Amino acid sequence: MKNTTQRLRIAIQKSGRLGIESVDLLKKSGFSFQKSERTLMARCKNFPLDILFLRVGDIPNMVKEGVVDLGIVGENTLSEKKYTEVTIVEKLGFGKCTLCLAAPKKSTITSLADFSGKIIATSYANITRTYLQNKGIHCEIVEMSGSHEIAPQLGLADAICDIVSTGATLEANNLVNIETIFNSQAVLIGKENAKKLLQPKHIDDFLMRLHSVLRAKQLKSVIMNVANKNISAISNVLGSLQSPTIMPLAQEGWSALHSVIEENDAFWNTITELKKNGASGILISPIERVLD
């Protein structure tokens, strides 16, 4: 059944961490809707958008068949399904995890080469098989829908390949990560020509709202007090960032500088450099949305 309405349809996971974070992203993006445990669809009140709550494994096919226009899934799900007609519209930056090859701590498997000839239990057979074949490793893949961690204890497999977020589940089952074979995060998916097929204004407005929240997550608002004589040095520390806003303070010879800093690996180094160059009373705040 194709989506013949004038409203956008997006499918997200009906339960689990990915579903919770997807709902959070949509609500922070300004879409007003109510999610009930008993319903599989919510109608947005302030935008022509319907949200369907589905099993994550069904979402790529729903997008492929045109039942929904967009979907949010993990990259691992999309790669495992191998839907050539479905493409990534946007990487969303949450739901990050890795797909890892793991073996019992007391196993003889201590490197990738040791998987040769072994039995591996996984629900990601395509990704696992492709990775190992590319590495020249030949082994047997046993597909399991869940509870992979117990497979070695039951004698069903020598090792597993499964999604790892914190590593706590591996540790609890006396397993150790041997090789990371895939890095995943939540992605917005659509058909290859999604932007052409959908109502242009609707999709542009939808993506604008999402971008405003995703961009804001990468930034921090920073306000600091600076002696006027140090403004030039502080501006140099801020580097290529947008020129700071400068506001005179009641105390003569001093100003307040307001700027935005990328929250990356260098963030705290930048803050340290600001302090070294005379910044004081530094206030760091989150940003809700950024519109370019």
Do residue 77 and residue 198 come from a single domain?
A: yes
Do residue 131 and residue 176 come from a single domain?
A: yes
The answer to whether position 238 is within a domain reads yes
Last residue of a domain, one of 194, 216, 238: 216
The answer to whether position 16 is within a domain reads yes
pLDDT value for 200: 59
Tokens of 3: 């989506």
CA 64 to chain centroid: 21
Do residue 208 and residue 142 come from a single domain?
A: no
Burial 101-124 (b: 16+ CB within 10 A, else e): bbbbeebebeebebbeebbbbbbb
pLDDT value for 2: 60
The CATH number of the domain holding residue 16 is 3.40.190.10
What whole-number distance in Å separates Cα of residue 25 and Cα of residue 35? 14
191 versus 289: the higher-pLDDT residue is: 289
Question: Which pLDDT tens digit goes with each residue over 141-175?
Answer: 999 887 788 888 888 999 999 988 888 888 888 89
Do residue 134 and residue 260 come from a single domain?
A: no
Per-residue pLDDT at 198 exceeds 60: no
Do residue 157 and residue 205 come from a single domain?
A: no
Percentage, residues of the chain above pLDDT 90: 64
Do residue 134 and residue 84 come from a single domain?
A: no
3-state SS assignment for residue 103: strand
The answer to whether position 3 is within a domain reads no
Residue position matching structure tokens 């140099």: 236
Asked if 202 and 48 count as a contact pair (C-beta separation under 8 A), the reply is yes
Average pLDDT of the segment spanning 168-195: 87
Question: Which pLDDT tens digit goes with each residue over 95-144?
Answer: 999 999 999 998 999 999 999 999 999 999 999 999 999 999 999 999 98
Q: Specify the number of domains making up the chain.
A: 3
pLDDT band at 196 (very low <50, low <70, confident <90, very high): low
What whole-number distance in Å separates Cα of residue 98 and Cα of residue 224? 39
The answer to whether position 111 is within a domain reads yes
Question: Which pLDDT tens digit goes with each residue over 220-240?
Answer: 999 999 999 999 999 889 875
Do residue 114 and residue 171 come from a single domain?
A: yes
Do residue 88 and residue 129 come from a single domain?
A: no
Asked if 285 and 221 count as a contact pair (C-beta separation under 8 A), the reply is yes
The answer to whether position 261 is within a domain reads yes
Angle 157-74-288 from CA coordinates, rounded to 5°: 145
The CATH number of the domain holding residue 265 is 3.30.70.120
Do residue 102 and residue 154 come from a single domain?
A: yes
DSSP3 helix / strand / coil % (the chain, rounded to 5): 35, 30, 35
Sequence-ordered list of residues with C-beta below 8 angstroms from that of 274, at least 6 positions apart, any chain: 222, 224, 234, 237, 238, 282
Radius of gyration of the chain (CA): 24
Do residue 198 and residue 244 come from a single domain?
A: no
Asked if 123 and 209 count as a contact pair (C-beta separation under 8 A), the reply is no
Asked if 219 and 291 count as a contact pair (C-beta separation under 8 A), the reply is no
Q: Is the pTM of this model over 0.85?
A: no
Do residue 235 and residue 197 come from a single domain?
A: no
Question: Which pLDDT tens digit goes with each residue over 249-288?
Answer: 999 999 999 999 999 889 999 999 999 999 999 999 999 9
Domain enclosing residue 17, as ranges: 8-95+186-216
Do residue 105 and residue 144 come from a single domain?
A: yes
What whole-number distance in Å separates Cα of residue 258 and Cα of residue 179? 45
